[in-house]
């Protein structure tokens, strides 16, 4: 395999943690809360949320940030001419706060490739389905409509395509006969809240390695 396909997250040296992360949101922010709670409950948690960036004002995620004294910023999609400008503004805001990684948590916008250039292998997303099944919006409803017996969630690196980058972790959630979109999504989210902080921890501790599409986890120290 050509060496340029081997991409690794550098091991973060002692003294460089916690790394600074920006969490990108569009709505409720329950995954943001899970990350904030993980950091608050563990003094050794290797990531610090330095800013929460929303593409829309007035969302609950911004209230969650304010409640713990984390700066919340709105980079409104409608204020920009297109994806390139919007992405540049999001990255500028994140960098202005010293962020070294972007953690997408219910963020409903697609970043342009410029984002991946500025945060290489440092943008992560959580999706409420077992990718590559049901990418895009309405994933939970799509899964129910398709009649699948199991669905779940995927945490993945973000690349130039929607819900497509290398998969970091997945969890299976059974679909029950009487599930609605809301009931299935609630069980998926409970798993997200457990898994996403673990991925952030592994990323921040430099324990994730990417070879082509395959992500491997190094053992915890």
List residues with catalytic annotation. Answer: 127
**Tokens 């963020």 correspond to what residue?**
107
Out of 54, 112, 121, 189, the only residue in the binding site for ligand GRF (CB under 6 A) is: 189
Closer Cβ to ligand GRF, 24 or 210, answer by number: 24
8-state DSSP, 214: E
- The site string for ligand GRF over 18-37 (x = CB under 6 A, - otherwise) reads -------x-xxxxx------
Beta carbon nearer to ligand GRF, 7 or 183: 183
Candidates 123, 125, 111; CA nearest to 196 is 125
Give the total of residues touching ligand GRF (CB under 6 A): 13
Q: Which of 128, 152, 165, 197 binds ligand GRF (CB under 6 A)?
A: 128
Residue facing ligand GRF at closest CB distance: 106
Interacting stretch for ligand GRF, rule CB under 6 A, among 68-76, 125-133, 166-174, 213-221?
125-133
4: which DSSP letter? G
**Torsion on CA atoms 16, 191, 50, 216, rounded to nearest 10:** 30
- 154 touches 104 (CB < 8 A): no
Main-chain phi, psi angles of 172, to 5 degrees: -90, 140
Among 52, 105, 184, 200, binds ligand GRF (CB under 6 A): 105
Which residues are within 8 A (CB) of 106 and not within 5 positions of it... i.e. 6 or more apart? 25, 26, 27, 28, 29, 30, 31, 32, 61, 126
Candidates 50, 192, 204, 205: give the one binding ligand GRF (CB under 6 A). Answer: 192
Residues forming the site for ligand GRF (CB under 6 A): 25, 27-31, 105-106, 126-128, 189, 192
């Amino acid at each position: 395999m050509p060496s340029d396909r081997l991409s690794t997250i550098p091991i973060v040296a002692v003294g460089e943690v916690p790394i600074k992360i920006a969490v990108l949101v569009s709505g409720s922010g329950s995954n943001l809360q899970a990350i904030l709670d993980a950091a608050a409950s563990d003094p050794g948690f290797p990531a610090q949320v330095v800013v929460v960036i929303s593409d829309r004002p007035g969302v609950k995620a911004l209230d969650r940030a304010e409640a713990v004294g984390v700066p919340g910023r709105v980079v409104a999609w409608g204020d920009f001419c297109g994806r390139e400008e919007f992405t540049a503004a999001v990255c500028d805001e994140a960098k202005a706060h010293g962020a070294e990684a972007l953690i997408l948590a219910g963020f409903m916008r697609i970043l342009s490739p410029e984002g991946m250039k500025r945060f290489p292998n440092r943008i992560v997303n959580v999706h409420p389905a077992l990718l590559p099944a049901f990418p895009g919006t309405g994933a939970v409803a799509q899964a129910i409509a398709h009649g699948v017996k199991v669905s779940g969630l995927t945490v993945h690196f973000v690349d130039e395509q929607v819900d497509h980058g290398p998969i970091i972790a997945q969890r299976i959630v059974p679909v029950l006969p009487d599930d609605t979109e809301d009931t299935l999504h609630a069980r998926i989210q409970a798993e997200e809240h457990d898994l996403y902080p673990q991925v952030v921890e592994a990323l921040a501790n430099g324990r994730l390695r990417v070879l082509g599409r395959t992500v491997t986890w190094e053992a915890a120290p």
